[in-house]
Structure 1
Amino acid sequence: MIFRKLHFLIYILLCTMLFVTQSCDKIKQKNPHEKQDLTEINRLIDIGHQHYENEKFDSSYYYFNKAKYTAEIKKDTSRIIHTLSWMAQIQRNQGDYAGSETTSIEAFPLIANSNKFQYGETNIYIGLGYNYLLTNENDQAIYYFKKAINSKTDEEVKSDIINNISLALTEKGDFQKAIQILLPLTLKKEVKNNPQSFARVIDNLGYTYDKIGNSKAIFYLNKGLKTREQIKDNRGLLSSYYNISEHYKTRNPNLSLKYALLAYQKATKVNSVDDRLQSLKAIIHNTSGNELKKYSLAYLHINDSITKVRQKAKNQFAKIKYDSTLEKEENLKLKTQKILQDEEQRTRNLFLYFVVAIIILISILLSNFLIAKNKREKIKASYTTEIRISKKLHDELANDVYQTMAFAETQDLAKNENKEILLSNLDGIYSRTRDISRENSTIETGIQFIPNLKEMMSGFNTEKVNVLTNGMDKIHWKDLDNNKKIIVYRVIQELLVNMKKHSKCSLVVITFKKDKNKLQIDYTDNGIGTVNNQLNSKNGLLNMENRIRAAKGSITFDTKSDKGFRVGIIFPIES
């Protein structure tokens, strides 16, 4: 029955492709109108903006680059500059400052060769100014901010640019000049009528006064904070909290810590990684003991993660540009090639149909094979679990039950001492029975999954052992199917049971991360570690390995005894 459906599907596919091919030449003869070309450019730009708003920056960059290429064909200078400014902004946001500078400079010949003001010119200069400000090249930043002011833009934007110039002067150490620029800004109607701009100006003024130790600093910083609280400017509040924390750094460490924590919370809310790192530095400066350790670990984790993400983003941006270049070259080649004869095209299409049919057939067969294999692996994992439970019952309970029975038969239970021993033995047997039951009981995979998982892990916290988790609440657990949730629960449980029995550690860290469509779990403890032959003898860990592989995942063990015990687990989120 399956193969009959397959033949029918292939037949329909071949007929459809033949129809499309026969219509292809007619379609190619139609030349698109200018309006259609402009509509396509605008459509690509709109998609780029949508992805940017959703923080899908690689997709946003891709569509802006595609819009730029389409605008180049049409020789639409204004839209080319517009797309370049957004591509540069995306690269700058991802820490690719060199790439952002290169992209911005691409617009220079277009601006220079145009005899009229181009839409996006101001943004190119502002973007370069920000780029140099973030890389501490303050003279270059001031130069491009001034070019932005000299371009055709409104007074409100000019006020913001002047504010940025003052910030560059402050970072340069030219505090008095920065103050001379900022004070008149506070009186301009464009600034006073815009609470967000006004808050930025007076916050920068307070920040600059603080640099020279002027007592007016805290007045302006608090005024900026109050304004931002009134308009609920989250990103602005983040800046205010941090600047006030720096003000109290030496004057009042407790207040400094309070505002640093507020800055960290706000940076987390607006998903600003650089500001989170900056806030953590301030927190670390004002903490000690366990709190210092906690925030230091958070800083290291975020710093490592953002370095990897940004390097990946740089590579992705470079690849998109490279692919675009290849596409241009390929299109030029296609334009110079002769049109293939109709009979040749039909022959190739027939060959393509045959290949597609074979691929579909192989895909179905391979899919059936993998499904059957997965079922066998699940059955094997279940069987292994049953064997393990049986062995536990025999090894941990059978002998104790027998000895307790023998004790009850041979000893005088009328004596309080013997009665206490019997009760103690029975209590021990009950505890181990309960532990085995919990290890193999039904696991809630609904809304109580995370609370139950946390409760299970907290059960391993003792006065001597501290179990920490990182990133658990950032995972979208609803995307994980129930079977994999059970695997996550059992694997973590097995690791902690193994730790309790063998590790002799004082600290356990379990980190959860999502990498594309994969869930990564890293387990680390500072115990005595193990070696390969000991690892192979631990049935619990072998059973855990079987569970992971049944879910099409992978597991790696770091068995260096001088570095504790480390386990890395990766498996796909979707089936």
Structure 2
Amino acid sequence: MSSIQQINGDYYGSKETVTDALSYVEKSKPHLACINNILGIADKELSLYDDAIIYYKKSVNNYKSPIEKQIPLNNIAAVYIQQKKYDDAILLLDSLLNNSILKEKNETYNESLIKDNLGYAYFKKGLDKKGLQLMTEGLKIRINTKDTYGSIESYLHLADYYANKDLQKSDENAFLAYKVATALNSIDERLEALQIIISNDNSLNTAKYTQKYFTLNDSIIKVRNNFKNKSAKIKYDAKKEKDENEKLRLEKAKNQLSLQRAKYLKIVSTIVFAFLVILIFILIRYYKNKNKAIEFKTSYNTETRIAKKIHDELANDVFQVIAFAESQPLSVENTKENLLQKLDDIYSRVRGISRENNSIDTGANFTHSIKEMLSAYNTRERNIMVTNLENINWENIDDIKKITISRILQELMVNMKKHSEASIVVIRFDSDQKSISINYRDNGKGCEKSMVVKNGLQNMSNRVLAINGTFDIETEPDKGFKVKISMPEQTQIKVKEKFAY
């Protein structure tokens, strides 16, 4: 009964049931071993790892057969992996794998289980090659011996292994685990497989799998809650059949208690629901106000920057042109041409300010708009080189990041034009499974690092930090200017242990 409760996720109920079994066991070692192993599994699933290890060790001492001892010992190793004590897990699993009794009894089930968990421990410790070899051997044994349920865990471990190495292989193993778990109606393993597929985000159907995960998770919660109620009723009916008179007396008390509990739960549920509604309302208001504040601040900073630029770059020039027009005879050809040249220069500055603050195309023409923006800063004296821009998979990058990247590049270009006096500018884009990075460098005059913010890069700093990115600036006087900007990302699954009956 306790094992059935564990299969259905009722670990507290499982501990209660198996504890009742102790009164019937007396000094029967095999039964005590099984009970302690079940208690260990329950505590492990409840994240009470130290208590779980205590029960597993009791189970080891209760068993007489070396083969039987391997089950709780392997479960101890699984807890060590969960606790990230990889050295302890490897030491224990390696001793089990090299035990001669394993080969003498031809215990393929235990061998595959040990190899899979040992390989997973090596992988978690960072010894990828050895870990992959052992996990692959464990899976092969399980396939050859038709241990279908055991193969699920192997596929999940391999999916985790490839998650940061080869997303295609990670997805393949996760789908295999999902397929087998579905055939065996093993809900927990199906959910774990879906978690990996969703985390990899390597499929066009990620949204569909996400929805399937939530639907399945909600469904299993309801099923297991129903199971708890149903198992309680089965126990109740069995006890009633054994001792009807006693049960009738207890039934009355129990019904009263149930009514009180239901009433209490209803009150508590109402209070909790009301609290959650209020909390959600407060959080919504908070984040709305926060977003408004951020938008206002960003808008204010942008307006301030534009106003300052208009004042610094245009107002003085316009005033000079007015003074020039008042003081010079416009009928003279050279004076007229000089005036027109000054007006044309002011017009070019106005277009530049407009171009720096216009909307950004984040669709299919994004890379073209980036190239067009950067090319505007190319001159006879200055060469701007852009590499690897087309190799980035821009379709997988959200619009906010694209806008941020475009604005950052604008900030760098404006800063370079105003302060750098560079003749060569190189901008390189790179990406991997974890991050997108932009490496900027020029051969300009550089500056003291403490003066960087004053040189107009405060907006760039704010934009990078707003998307949880990082940036690093290297500059010294007469040694050029370098900036590295990165936008990162990362995942993990747990080790499962096996029951002993």
Normalised to the residue count of structure 1, the TM-score between the two structures is 0.41
Which structure has more relative contact order (CA 8 Å, sep 6+)? It is: 2
